[in-house]
A and B are shown apart, each in its own frame.
Chain A
Amino acid sequence: MTRPRTDLLLELADDELILGWRDSEWTGIAPFLEEDVAFSSIAQNEIGHARALYELAARDLGTDADVLAFDRRPEEYCCAPLVQAGLVGDWAGTIARHFLYEAADAVRIEALKASPDAELAGIAAKIDREETYHRLHAEMWELRLRDEPRFRAAFEVRWPLALGVLAPDLRPRLAERVGREEVEPVERSTPGTEFEALWNEMTMVRRSAPTGAQW
């Protein structure tokens, strides 16, 4: 790996942060109460992972996790297109994204666990222990919804986005994992307007006081 490790950490952390932020939108309005509680934990875990990853990056960069999570300009975030869309109300889309993201993340984390960088490998192993439950959750939902037409459609739309979560060398493993042919992936790029709207909302309280204010 020749990229600086902070690039890699920020990419991962941004994915986890934004997915966690999006998933947290379901808190209080999920399809039924038991699932509401379960899905909220998943959202919290994703944000917890983002925090741990930002902390590691922040140490290299001489800053702190909150600054990395909130105080960058929208165009400085490098989260994958898969995690950016707001899907409140669309449970089929949410579960399709959840399933595909967990599968992609499993491939990515597996690779990171083998990293020669002990800190990276260590954090990957820790994340993996929690993600095991997310994968179980995603898989049992996929099993129940896979014959629902709206779930099939939501899955098709997101397959190229899921491939784009991973570096090119890892994509075949994802295709194998979910039993699909590789297609033209949707690559990471400067975040679009939907992300900007989210960024505006997620930073609005924080931006209302001068930089460095305590909340």
Chain B
Amino acid sequence: MIYEVFRQERKGQPFVHGGSFHAPDQAFADAYAREFYARRQESVALWVVPREQIVEIDEFPDEFDLKYRRVDGYSIKARLAIARERAGSATSPGTDGG
């Protein structure tokens, strides 16, 4: 069975994929993960997962403009300038949002 290992390099950091290996069961996989990804103290924690338990999803259709969910979906510059002008509070450029 193939196991995938994710490793954390330092406390507080995200776990990143390290690699994979064959092991007869979870107990062996745990031992091998320790050897392959921490024998030089290069990890502080490991996740050891049977590959077959991992589900990969890699299709994310965006047919109808979903930008409203992201920051690049908004351009407030022009409207902010008008609003400031009306309020009489226009200042030097560079203090507003993008």
Residues of A within 8 A of B (CB): 32-35, 37-38, 41, 133, 136-137, 140, 144
Contacts and interface: CB of A to CB of B under 8 A. Distances in A.
A38 B31 contact: yes
Tell me whether chain A's interface is mostly helix, strand or loop, or mixed.
Answer: helix
B12 interface: no
B17 interface: no
Contact of B34 (A32, A133, A140, A144): A133
Contacts of B47: none
Tell me whether chain B's interface is mostly helix, strand or loop, or mixed.
Answer: helix
Given A34-B21, A34-B22, A136 B32 contact: no
A127 to B, nearest CB: 18
Nearest to A143: B27
A38 B24 CA distance: 14
B27 A140 contact: yes
A41 B24 contact: no
Nearest to B21: A34
A50 B24 CA distance: 31
A140 B22 contact: no
8 contacts: A33-B22, A34-B22, A34-B28, A34-B36, A37-B36, A38-B32, A136-B27, A140-B28
B35 interface: yes
Nearest to A32: B22
Interface in B4-31: 21-24, 27-28, 31
A38 B35 contact: yes
